[in-house]
Amino acid sequence: VCFIPGGLDCSISFVSHVLGKVCVHGRQKEILGVLVPRLTDLTKSDCIWQRICWRLVECVPDRWMEAVVLGFVQRAPGADVLSRLLGNLVVKNKKAQFVVTQKILLLQYGHTTAVLQNLLGYLSLDGLRRALLLRVLQELLETWSSNSAVKHSPAEQQLYISKAILICLSHLKEPEIDSCRQELLMSMMEGMKCHLDSSLPQLQRLGMVVAESISLKINTEGPVLKFEYEEDDETRELKSLLVQTPSFFVVPSLPDDESEKAGAALPLVPESNEKSHTAAPVMPDEESDAELDSDDDLLPYDMSEDKELKIKAPVYIRDCIEVLTGSRSEDVDKWEATVKALEGLVRKNPAATREVNVELAKILLHLEEKTCIEGFVELRQRAQVAVLTTDPIPVAEYLTSQFYSLNYSLRQRMDILDVLVLAAQELSCPKFHGKTKHSCAQKPCIQLPLGSDSSKDWRRIVDERIKSKTRRFNMGQSHVELASRPNEFNSVAGYFFFPLIQHFDRPLTTFDLLGEDHLVLGRLVHTLAVLMYLAVNTVAVTAMGKALLEFVWALRFHTDSYVRQGLLSCISSLLLSVPVEQILTDMTEELLETQSWLG
């Protein structure tokens, strides 16, 4: 930057053209890396240089404006510095306004969080620009709450938009929140629904975090939304954006000789606070007297030898039912012991389980966690699988009928699908009970116990000596003799499969698989694929395959990617399980249609 002596008027449009030309040809880093720090220093206390800088960017032609504005936004050390460098450029220049309010925020998503903080902080630092900040927030919320945008835009763009929304919220003042409270509430409800309906856990968590933040802003006195989700680095970063960071915490990258001046100009800790931290606390006399009367000198009881009382678990199935249904529900320890012991009791007493199979399955399906038991969901699921494998037909009929019944939550319906898959897997896989022909024991070593009669074991001793001194060139691999056992899933596969595939297109009052409950539909499709795969070599596999092809054909154009992925799994399972001869004779037409759809 050159100086013009004598107070002469001059035009800097040529410099603006050079700046725009250099930036648009990809040399932003080189020219702005030198220009921005120098202008930052010059405009810190000189209003004349501020006006020169404003004229410099205002005179850039529109065709090069985007490259220049983006370069300034990326390299400015803070929003206040960007405000000094650009002034009200976004109010005066339509191209700059489009780049700042539309292109960087809605059409791109590769910029860092610091760039978003610079950009939105710049809009918030002037009264004329705050109207643009409110408009930007409204457009961001429209995109965030759009069902189509949530389905078709990548998760990285959703995260980028969520960050921009939270930064905008951190800059809003109370009067501005009051003026748009109703719009914020409507956008929060629509966007929260779209994100929770998504099958991607990341998008669901983004919807929860942003909805919580909007609720915290619009309900300053009343109750606010609170979701349960696992916090990670991403959610912690999002929540931190809602708290506006004071500008004096942003230290610009200055040369070494100027860092001391900057450090002196940033009062991070007031003097009074510093003294309050270093001064020793003076205790009044009353507090010292109270300390003397405290019970710190009392010795605690020795609890090292105390043992936790073990609650005896029930030993009969009907006793478990009594405890779980509420007649003894006041005894929490007994309830916990029953939940932990139930699976073992069911497997040990199959005859007793068959007498109350459906009742027990109903109790487990509706069982809720009364105390904080580690692994409660897994314990309940394993007990359900045990009941289903003990008496498959009546229990499978009950569970599949309840999947399409009223007054069940989506979680319960997905639990039914999980239990059916695990039970089918257990029934279809034979248990390995066998003996090794050649045991891999250690080298024999003859050790006779004292006082034993060695004459009785002479043959064993001789055999072991011969074995130890014999060289064998090929012993063969030790193998397991598998006990022959029928596939228990063969006779019950239809009871697991066909009831699930019958009523998928019939919407209920609280359950619509082809509508908003597409997450459960995706789980159902994947469940059918697994059941089809496990039904290999069963009698009903051909009928199951034909019904599954018709099911896939009905859903082939579904909009959710998770559902379409499940349909591909169904086709793969069908081709693996159904014999080739049956496919070519019974499903030729359906297979050709499926082939054209896959193509």
Task: Name the one residue in this structure whose structure tokens are 């980028």.
Answer: 160
Provide mean pLDDT across the span 54-61: 87
Burial 445-473 (b: 16+ CB within 10 A, else e): eeeeeeeeeeeeeeeeeeeeeeeeeeeee
Three-state DSSP state, 436:
strand
Compute the distance between CA of residue 385 and CA of residue 343 in angstroms, rounded to an integer.
9
Q: 90-104, 424-438, 550-564: which range is least confident on average?
A: 424-438
Beta carbons of 421 and 496 less than 8 angstroms apart: no
190-214 confidence digits (pLDDT tens): 888 888 888 888 888 889 999 988 8
**Domain-ending residue, one of 215, 244, 273:** 244
What domain range is 332 assigned to?
A: 322-428
The DSSP secondary-structure symbol of 38 reads H
Beta carbons of 335 and 323 less than 8 angstroms apart: yes
Q: How confident is the model at residue 228 (pLDDT cuts 50, 70, 90)?
A: confident
Q: How confident is the model at residue 38 (pLDDT cuts 50, 70, 90)?
A: confident
Q: Are residues 343 and 399 in the same domain?
A: yes
Task: Name the one residue in this structure whose structure tokens are 């191209």.
Answer: 95
Q: Are residues 80 and 132 in the same domain?
A: no
Task: Name the one residue in this structure whose structure tokens are 């205002």.
Answer: 58
524-567 confidence digits (pLDDT tens): 999 999 999 999 888 889 999 999 988 888 888 888 888 889 99
Q: For the chain, what is the mean pLDDT?
A: 79
Q: Are residues 59 and 135 in the same domain?
A: no
Q: Are residues 74 and 131 in the same domain?
A: no
Q: Are residues 102 and 135 in the same domain?
A: no
Compute the distance between CA of residue 347 and CA of residue 407 in angstroms, rounded to an integer.
30
Q: How confident is the model at residue 388 (pLDDT cuts 50, 70, 90)?
A: very high
Domain annotation covers residue 232: yes
**DSSP-assigned states of every residue in 259-297:** HHHHHHH---S-HHHHHHHHSPPPPPHHHHHHHHTSSTT
Size (the chain), residues = 599
Compute the distance between CA of residue 160 and CA of residue 203 in angstroms, rounded to an integer.
12
Q: Which pairs with CB-CB distance under 8 Å and at least 24 residues apart come from 264-269?
A: none
Task: Enter the tokens of residue 283.
Answer: 């205790």
**Domain-ending residue, one of 210, 229, 244:** 244
- Give helix then strand counts, H and E, for the chain: 32, 0
Where is pLDDT greater, at 437 or 195? 195
Q: Are residues 73 and 131 in the same domain?
A: no
Q: Are residues 99 and 178 in the same domain?
A: no
Q: Over pLDDT 90: what percentage of the chain?
A: 16
Domain annotation covers residue 387: yes
What are the strands, taking DSSP E only, across 402-510?
none
Domain annotation covers residue 407: yes
Compute the distance between CA of residue 79 and CA of residue 124 in angstroms, rounded to an integer.
9
Q: Are residues 100 and 179 in the same domain?
A: no
Domain annotation covers residue 188: yes
Domain annotation covers residue 313: no
Beta carbons of 458 and 466 less than 8 angstroms apart: no
**Domain-ending residue, one of 218, 244, 270:** 244
Domain annotation covers residue 267: no
Compute the distance between CA of residue 490 and CA of residue 535 in angstroms, rounded to an integer.
7
Single-letter amino acid, residue 282 = V
Q: How many domains are there within the chain?
A: 4
Domain annotation covers residue 117: no
Q: Are residues 44 and 72 in the same domain?
A: yes
Q: Are residues 327 and 402 in the same domain?
A: yes
CA-wise closest residue to 124 among 111, 138, 137: 137
Q: Check residue 305 and give its pLDDT.
A: 62
Single-letter amino acid, residue 237 = E
Q: Are residues 131 and 232 in the same domain?
A: yes
Domain annotation covers residue 212: yes
Compute the distance between CA of residue 259 and CA of residue 367 in angstroms, rounded to an integer.
64
